[in-house]
Amino acid sequence: MTADTEAVRALVVAYAERLDAGDLDGVAALFADAVVRPAVSRAELRGREAVRRMYDPVILYEDGTPRTKHVLGNLAVRVDPAAATATSECTFTVLQARPGHGLGPVLCGRYDDRFTRVDGRWRFTERMITPHLLGVLSDHMGRR
């Protein structure tokens, strides 16, 4: 695996880790130069502020986290070093320890991402979020 492939994989994983840690500003920072397209709403969220607003409904509990764990699977990365671009896709399952309900899946789907390398650093340029299976989200994204 090349260093470029690892750098792109690290960005995909950083998203999941930041969101699970309740670092919603950190999640938004990953998309400062990107557009995020949630397939359900067909919106185009451009840049840090717009992406951050998308996460406003996330409920953070007393420990500062949404009590979730994003499990990524089937992560495939393709890098074009000459063009300084890359793509990735992966599946995701979000588990949540819902108060009074224990641990269980609340959302499954797919991320399709595009990246560019600028000044030697990889960054997101686009993310498409496609949910496939929805569980009970009221304890995860209940706040408006």
Going by C-beta distance under 8 Å and a sequence separation of 6 or more, which residues neighbour residue 79?
A: 2, 4, 5, 8, 85, 86
Number of CB atoms found within 10 A of residue 81's CB: 11
Give the predicted TM-score (pTM) of the model: 0.93
Tell whether the torsion through CA atoms of 105, 106, 109 and 115 is positive or negative.
negative
pLDDT, one tens digit for every residue, the chain (144 residues): 699 999 999 999 999 999 999 999 999 999 999 999 998 888 899 999 999 999 999 999 999 999 999 999 999 999 999 999 999 999 999 999 988 888 999 999 999 999 999 999 999 999 999 999 999 888 888 753
pLDDT for position 144: 34
**What is the pLDDT at residue 98?**
84
Question: Is the CB of residue 20 less than 8 Å from the CB of residue 26?
Answer: no
Q: Are 105 and 94 in contact (CB under 8 A)?
A: yes
Who contacts 119 (Cβ-Cβ below 8 Å, separation ≥6)? Answer: none
Instruction: Tell which residue, 143, 129, 121, 7, has the closest CA to residue 70.
Output: 129
State residue 41's pLDDT score: 82
User: What value, to the nearest 5°, has the Cα angle with vertex 30 and ends 117 and 77?
Assistant: 50
